[in-house]
C-alpha cells in the first residue's frame, strides 16, 4: 500500500526487511526508487500505480545491493538509472556465468522462491558527476558519497525537502560499512559528513529500511557515534542493538560482533 509522506512523494514498504520503495509523482508518470522486494509486493506496487493512473517513466537504484536493484515486468520498461560505480558493479556481476547462483546465496532463504531475477540489476549509468535525475518531474539532486556500498547515492527532492537516504540513517538498522574498502570507518564517516552538509535542506528523511522521520540530525549523530565506537573498539550504546528492539534483536547483534571482530583484526594487523 502506498503512503504519502510529502506532497507528491509516496512510500511502499516491504514486509521482511522493511525496504522502502519511493514513488515521486511527475507530470507524465513517476520516478520509482529502489522497488522491492518480492514479486508479490512489486506486483502490488504496480497495481497501486495503475489505480493512480501513473506509469513509471524513470527508475533509480541508490546502490547495487541485491534488494535495491530489483524490478518487475508490471513496472514497465522505463530507464533505470544509477551512478557510474553502482552500474559498473552490476555490470561486472551480471557478466559472470553463475551470477544467479551468487545472488541467490545472499538472499534470505524465506523469500528465495518469491523473487524473480529476470530483470535484476539492469542499471544504466548516468554520466560521471551527474547531479540530477534526467526526467520531466521536479528536480531530484543526486548526492553521491562513499559510504555503505560502491556507487552509493542519496537523492534530495529539493522542492519537497525530502532526502531519500539509501541504506543509511535507518532507525532500525545500525550502519553497515563496506568492509572491503581500505578504511571502512573513515569512508562511512565521510558519507555522513556529506549528508550532514544538506541537513538544513531536509525536513523528511526516508531510509532504505525502517521508518520515515523528521529527525535527520539525530540519525546522523547516532550513526556517527556507532562508527566511532567501532573505530575505537568500544561497545556502542545503540538502541538498535537492544535485546528489546522491535526489529532485528535476533540477528543485528551478531552483525555488530562480526563488524567489530573484522575491524579489530584489521587494526591488529597494521
pLDDT digits (tens, 9 = 90+) for 187-228: 999 999 999 999 999 999 999 999 999 999 999 999 999 999
At residue 28, the pLDDT reads 96
At residue 194, the pLDDT reads 97
Considering the entire predicted model, what is its pTM?
0.96
At residue 209, the pLDDT reads 98
At residue 34, the pLDDT reads 98
Residue 164 near residue 150, CB atoms below 8 Å: no
At residue 21, the pLDDT reads 98
DSSP 198: T
At residue 146, the pLDDT reads 87
CA atoms within 13 A on the CB side of 114: 17
Q: Where are the alpha helices (DSSP H) in 132-215?
A: 184-196
Low-confidence ranges of the chain (pLDDT < 50): none
d(CA 188, CA 205): 18
Q: Look-up: residue for cell 522491535?
A: 246
First to last CA, the chain: 50
Q: Where are the alpha helices (DSSP H) in the chain?
A: 39-52, 84-94, 99-105, 184-196, 216-232, 252-269
> Which of these, 90, 111, 93, lies nearest to 102 by C-alpha position?
93
CATH: 3.40.50.300, 3.40.630.10, 3.40.50.450, 3.60.15.10. Which one for 3-269? 3.60.15.10
Amino acid at each position: 500500500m502506498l503512503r504519502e509522506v510529502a506532497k507528491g512523494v509516496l512510500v511502499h514498504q516491504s514486509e521482511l526487511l522493511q525496504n522502502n520503495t519511493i514513488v515521486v509523482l511527475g507530470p507524465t508518470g513517476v520516478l520509482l526508487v529502489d522497488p522491492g522486494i518480492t514479486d508479490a509486493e512489486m506486483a502490488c506496487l504496480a497495481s497501486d500505480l495503475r489505480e493512480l493512473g501513473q506509469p513509471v517513466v524513470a527508475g533509480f537504484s541508490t546502490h547495487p545491493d541485491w534488494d535495491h536493484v530489483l524490478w518487475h515486468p508490471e513496472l514497465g520498461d522505463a530507464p533505470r538509472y544509477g551512478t557510474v560505480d553502482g552500474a559498473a558493479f552490476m555490470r561486472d556481476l551480471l557478466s559472470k556465468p553463475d551470477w544467479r547462483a551468487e545472488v541467490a546465496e545472499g538472499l534470505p532463504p524465506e523469500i528465495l522462491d518469491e523473487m524473480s531475477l529476470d530483470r535484476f540489476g539492469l542499471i544504466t549509468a548516468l554520466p560521471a558527476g551527474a547531479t540530477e535525475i534526467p526526467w520531466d518531474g521536479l528536480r531530484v539532486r543526486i548526492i553521491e558519497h562513499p559510504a555503505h556500498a560502491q556507487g552509493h547515492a542519496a537523492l534530495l527532492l529539493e522542492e519537497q525537502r525530502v532526502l531519500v537516504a539509501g541504506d543509511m540513517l535507518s532507525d532500525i538498522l545500525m550502519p553497515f560499512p563496506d568492509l572491503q574498502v581500505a578504511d571502512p570507518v573513515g569512508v562511512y564517516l565521510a558519507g555522513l559528513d556529506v549528508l550532514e552538509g544538506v541537513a538544513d535542506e531536509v525536513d523528511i528523511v526516508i531510509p532504505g529500511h525502517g521508518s520515515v522521520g523528521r529527525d535527520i540530525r539525530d540519525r546522523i549523530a547516532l550513526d556517527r557515534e556507532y562508527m566511532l565506537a567501532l573505530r575505537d573498539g568500544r561497545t556502542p550504546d545503540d538502541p538498535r542493538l537492544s535485546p528489546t528492539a522491535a526489529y532485528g534483536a535476533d540477528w543485528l547483534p551478531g552483525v555488530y560482533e562480526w563488524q567489530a571482530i573484522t575491524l579489530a583484526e584489521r587494526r591488529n594487523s597494521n
